[in-house]
Amino acid sequence: MGWIGESVESIRSIQIRQLITQAVTFGLIVTSALIIWKGLMCITGSESPVVVVLSGSMEPGFKRGDILFLHMSKDPIRSGEIVVFNVDGREIPIVHRVIKVHEREDTGEVDVLTKGDNNYGDDRLLYADGQLWLHRHHIMGRAVGFLPYVGWVTIIMTENPIFKYILIGALGLLVITSKD
Q: Within a 10 A sphere around the Cβ of 45, how many other Cβ atoms?
A: 14
Greatest extent of the chain over all pairs of C-alpha atoms, in Å = 78
Global pTM value: 0.74
How many whole angstroms separate alpha carbon 97 and alpha carbon 116? 6
- Asked if 140 and 70 count as a contact pair (C-beta separation under 8 A), the reply is yes
Per-residue confidence (pLDDT) for residue 66, from 0 to 100: 94
Q: Which residues are catalytic?
A: 57, 96, 123
How many whole angstroms separate alpha carbon 69 and alpha carbon 135? 21
Nearest to 49 by CA among 84, 89, 91, 23: 84
Domains of the chain: 50-153 (2.10.109.10)
Q: What percent of the chain has pLDDT over 90?
A: 31
**How does DSSP assign 133-171, residue by residue?**
SB-GGGEEEEEEEEESSTTHHHHHHHH-HHHHHHHHHHH
Per-residue confidence (pLDDT) for residue 35, from 0 to 100: 94
How many whole angstroms separate alpha carbon 147 and alpha carbon 160? 22
Per-residue confidence (pLDDT) for residue 31, from 0 to 100: 94
Instruction: Give 3-state DSSP helix, strand, coil % of the chain, rounded to 5.
Output: 40, 20, 40
How does pLDDT run across 61-75, given as a tens digit for each residue? Answer: 899 999 999 999 888
Q: Which of 2-6, 55-59, 75-79, 137-141 is the least confident region? A: 2-6
Per-residue confidence (pLDDT) for residue 3, from 0 to 100: 67
Which residues on neighbouring strands pair with residue 94, listed in sequence order?
A: 85
How many whole angstroms separate alpha carbon 139 and alpha carbon 53? 16
What does pLDDT average to over the chain?
Answer: 85
How does pLDDT run across 108-164, given as a tens digit for each residue? Answer: 788 899 999 999 988 888 888 888 888 888 899 999 999 999 999 889 888 888 988
Per-residue confidence (pLDDT) for residue 115, from 0 to 100: 92
Per-residue confidence (pLDDT) for residue 69, from 0 to 100: 94
pLDDT for 13 beyond 60: yes
